[in-house]
Amino acid sequence: MPENYIAYPSANINGVISVPGDKSISHRSLILLSISRGIGNITGLLESDDCLATLRIFNLLGIDIFKNSNNSYTVVGNGLHGLNETNTDLNCGNSGTSMRLLCGLLSAQKFSSLLIGDESLNKRPMERIAVPLSQMGANIELKNNIAAPIKIKPVEKILGIDYKMPIDSAQVKSSILLAGLYADSKTNIFENINTRNHTENLINFLGGKIDNNKNIVTLYPNQELLAKNIDIPGDISSAMFIIVGCLISKGSEVTIKNVGLNEFRIGGIEILKLMGGNIKVTNVKNYGPEKVGDIIVCSSNLKGIEVPSCHVASAIDEFPILFIAAAAASGKTILKNAQELRHKESDRLLAMSEGLKKCNISNVLYDDGIEINGGKIMGSIVDSYGDHRVAMSFAIAGLISKNPITILDAKNVSTSFPGFFDLMKEMGLNIDRSNS
């Protein structure tokens, strides 16, 4: 049954908080420790629906993963060749990260697998991973040659390849790298723009050999990964909802502790600074293979900008909430070269455009972007299309809306930010679950 929420106009938000662990790093930590040799502990694992889907799949593949009394998780890795065949379908739920990364890993195993997902995931494009993996020798069958369910059959060997990325996607890159761990020769990936490098960081952290040379990622074959303990920082994508909420509501000030500051994940911060956002980063330190710090935010008078293309890839997950910042800003904000937003849990360009129009914010939709004219958010009933980031974005818009915003189909917020609504209520957002 769909969950609907009503966000009411609120005075401001304030507090010193932490956000849940990084979703991207949580997935990759579970995957890479499962194929490492030895026992590793994960602290800060995001207990979202998506990450728990990955965890359950590795349980089915014979990997012992259990939760400790201190809320950390222990992964007993069996090495690169230690996964076991299962007759059970591997259900990724709503998680595109799970499906795409696991497709690369399972393509190199000596057994067959079937990856399935929910209705939304089964509509998302999967040929983007099937093409390079097939070039590596993988035997992959997509439904209608486009999407899941994905049937994977064993092959004699996986080939190292040189692959030029046609789209900017860390999921595609990571899928190739996971298959490349089993390849007969090195794998070179050529990126147009650097995408998040959590997979590369973790492979290096666990003793693998992988080079990053500008836009070229080179993975070397025949290497064993050795388990280590992994500390996962707070998710910058989750923090962005609170950051924008603070910026657009007068009298707000928030400190967010121990947030991941990966250099290829902070595009959203840079965009907000260009818009005039009062954002400071302090206490920067290394947290295992990643950089973390505290983010201090104060309410600001934002202005519209043309988003620099260099920040698009590193802010791709944050654009729904950045559109709310644009709606609250003075002047016009223009985004181009963001076609990838069409292929997320929903068509995020369309979903946000429709919702903003219902809230009295005029905008023009492009094939690869949007033009938003800042104005007064009036409130309305908006459809999140089951997309967690769309739902959370309109919840934040409720802070400054003249009238309440009713958000339809917000159940999937738990896929990335469990406890979001409770945390926001604690900080001052007036939001309630709707029974209608």
The DSSP bridge partners found for residue 210 are 219
Q: Residue holding tokens 């003249």?
A: 402
Going by C-alpha positions, the residue among 112, 108, 32, 107 that lies closest to residue 288 is 32
| C-alpha angle 292-293-299 in degrees, rounded to nearest 5 | 135
Which one-letter amino acid corresponds to residue 98? Answer: S
SS3 for 158-198 is ECCCEEECCCCCHHHHHHHHHHHCCECCCEEEECCCCCCCH
Going by C-alpha positions, the residue among 88, 187, 94 that lies closest to residue 132 is 187
| C-alpha angle 191-221-223 in degrees, rounded to nearest 5 | 120
Structure tokens at 357: 């129009």
Query: If DSSP codes are grouped into helix, strand and coil, which group holds residue 150?
Result: strand
Which of 22, 49, 168, 317 is labelled catalytic?
Answer: 317
The DSSP bridge partners found for residue 384 are none
Is the omega angle on the peptide bond into residue 149 within 30 degrees of 0, that is, cis?
yes
CA 213, 216, 222, 226: dihedral to nearest 10 degrees? Answer: 60
| Nearest-angstrom CA–CA distance, 321 and 385 | 15
| Nearest-angstrom CA–CA distance, 371 and 178 | 38
| Nearest-angstrom CA–CA distance, 14 and 246 | 8
Structure tokens at 225: 């990964």
| Nearest-angstrom CA–CA distance, 246 and 240 | 10
Query: If DSSP codes are grouped into helix, strand and coil, which group holds residue 292?
Result: strand
89 given a catalytic annotation: no
Q: Which residues are catalytic?
A: 317
